């Protein structure tokens, strides 16, 4: 296996109608010529991502998952719109190529974008890739610096002034994600009521800074240069992007970040290589963000606790589909255990001030 992220065969129940897909591509994207090949990128738990090759042209197709979906999630048009606005000024976005809401093709809206070929880091480094402690720290610094660069973009100048409502963002997020968890809860997971109560009663005030926030910014949504793995060349998975408080975005990113010193139970749910020698800790990453942004971060506990809770909601929404037989993806069975661990982690933040 090489270090570059590659697609595999399509999972059972997630096949596409190749003739209809090809007809759409040939109509919407000029210059295509040759046979169609469709494969699937196996990682990720939300929107489905397919590798498309027509002749020598490589593209990526994004569509919502099968089964029950949260009402406001998986908005393909919204994701396509932000890529279209960002691509000319923020070269880390994939180039959007075509969008349709014609459900006769595959039963849902979807879009196609240019493929960014490179390395994507997951739980462990891909075979053949080695990062020294110095490399790992540099990559962390680049990760945080690019996150701040995204937050600093002038969203009004690129036509995204109406892409979200920064005012009152924190309150809406606490209320909205609490409602989503209650709607998606199954009998075999905790109720999270004490955490939701704490988040409601201890909301951080709006920081006064607003920007484009990705809402799922983490290593496995970043593409690294195969010739220089310390350089980030792409940011993927924009489905939850909006306008809001950058510190909320940072808190959501830190929820995925596992320190090497964390409890073994928490480390067991690690999905990214954040425990490698040289990787910065959550505390160090937050401090660097504060330094780069100039935003004073006196107390990060609310943002981190919210990030853990929101991650639990996302996991539970996906697990709901598996629990009710709406998807056959066996990976989803483990998400109920993740929800339990995340509740314990959120309570530790509340009770012990853990970050």
Domains identified in the chain and CATH numbers: 18-114 (3.30.200.20), 133-352 (3.90.1200.10)
Closest by CA position to 289, among listed 303, 277, 275: 303
Question: Considering only CA atoms, which of 222, 231, 212, 226 is closest in space to residue 256?
Answer: 222
Distance CA(278)–CA(291), nearest Å, equals 20
CA gap 331, 310 in Å, rounded: 20
Which pLDDT tens digit goes with each residue over 43-98?
A: 766 789 999 999 999 999 999 988 545 445 568 999 999 999 999 999 999 999 99
Nearest partner of 256 among 220, 218, 228, judged by Cα: 218
Placement of tokens 């697609």 in the chain: 7
The string of pLDDT tens digits covering residues 250-279 is 999 999 999 999 999 999 999 999 999 999
pLDDT at 345: 97
Which of 2, 259, 254, 235 has the alpha carbon at shortest distance from 125?
2
Among 15, 58, 22, 48, CA closest to 331: 48
Average pLDDT for the chain: 94
Tokens of 53: 């090759």
Partners of 234 in the beta sheet? 223
Strand partners, 58: 53
> How far apart are the C-alpha atoms of 255 and 308, rounded to whole Å?
5
DSSP lists the bridge partners of residue 37 as 53
Give the C-alpha separation, 349 to 321, whole Å. Answer: 29
All residues at 6 or more sequence positions from 55 whose CB lies less than 8 Å from its CB, including other chains = 32, 33, 34, 35
Q: Which helix (H) or strand (E) holds 222?
A: strand 222-225
Q: Which of 172-186, 187-201, 206-220, 325-339 has the lowest mean pLDDT?
A: 325-339
pLDDT digits (tens, 9 = 90+) for 300-326: 999 999 999 999 999 999 999 889 988
The confidence score (pLDDT) of residue 328 equals 76
**Separation between Cα atoms, residue 3 and residue 6, nearest integer Å:** 9
| 76 in Cβ contact with 110 (< 8 Å) | yes
Residue 208: the pLDDT is: 84
**Residue 82 near residue 163, CB atoms below 8 Å:** yes
Nearest-CA neighbor of 240 among 163, 184, 146, 301?
163
Name the token pair of 210.
């607003």
The β-bridge relationship of strands 36-40 and 57-63 is: unpaired
Contact by Cβ (8 Å): 83, 93: yes
Distance between CA atoms of residues 276 and 290, nearest Å = 23
Supply the pTM of this predicted model: 0.92
% the chain with pLDDT above 90: 86
């Amino acid at each position: 296996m090489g270090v570059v992220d590659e697609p595999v065969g399509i999972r059972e129940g997630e096949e596409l109608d190749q003739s209809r897909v090809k007809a759409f591509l040939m109509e919407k994207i000029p210059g295509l010529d040759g046979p169609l090949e469709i494969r699937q990128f196996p990682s990720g738990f939300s929107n489905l991502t397919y590798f498309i090759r027509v002749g020598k042209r490589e593209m990526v197709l994004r569509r919502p998952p099968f089964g029950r979906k949260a009402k406001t999630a998986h908005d393909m048009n919204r994701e396509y719109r932000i890529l279209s606005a960002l691509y000319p000024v923020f070269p880390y976005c994939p180039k959007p190529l075509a969008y349709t809401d014609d459900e006769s093709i595959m039963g849902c809206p979807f879009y196609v974008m240019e493929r960014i070929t490179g390395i994507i880091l997951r739980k462990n480094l891909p075979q053949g890739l080695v990062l020294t402690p110095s490399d790992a720290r540099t990559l962390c610094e680049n990760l945080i610096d690019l996150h701040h660069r995204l937050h600093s973009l002038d969203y009004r100048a690129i036509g995204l002034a109406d892409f979200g409502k920064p005012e009152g963002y924190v309150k809406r997020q606490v209320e909205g994600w609490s409602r989503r968890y209650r709607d998606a809860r199954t009998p075999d997971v905790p109720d999270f009521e004490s955490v939701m109560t704490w988040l409601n009663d201890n909301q951080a005030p709006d920081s006064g800074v607003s920007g484009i926030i990705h809402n799922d910014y983490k290593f496995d949504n970043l593409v690294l240069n195969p010739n220089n793995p310390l350089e980030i060349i792409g940011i993927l998975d924009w489905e939850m992007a909006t306008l809001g408080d950058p510190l909320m975005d940072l808190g959501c990113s830190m929820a995925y970040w596992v320190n090497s010193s964390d409890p073994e139970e928490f480390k067991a749910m690690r999905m990214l290589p954040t425990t490698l020698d040289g990787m910065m800790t959550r505390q160090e990453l937050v401090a660097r963000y504060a330094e780069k942004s100039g935003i004073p971060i006196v107390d990060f506990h609310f943002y981190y606790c919210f990030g853990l809770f929101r991650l639990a909601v996302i996991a539970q929404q996906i697990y709901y589909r598996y629990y009710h037989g709406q998807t056959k993806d066996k990976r989803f069975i483990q998400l109920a255990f993740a929800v339990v661990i995340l509740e314990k982690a959120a309570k530790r933040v509340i009770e012990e001030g853990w970050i």
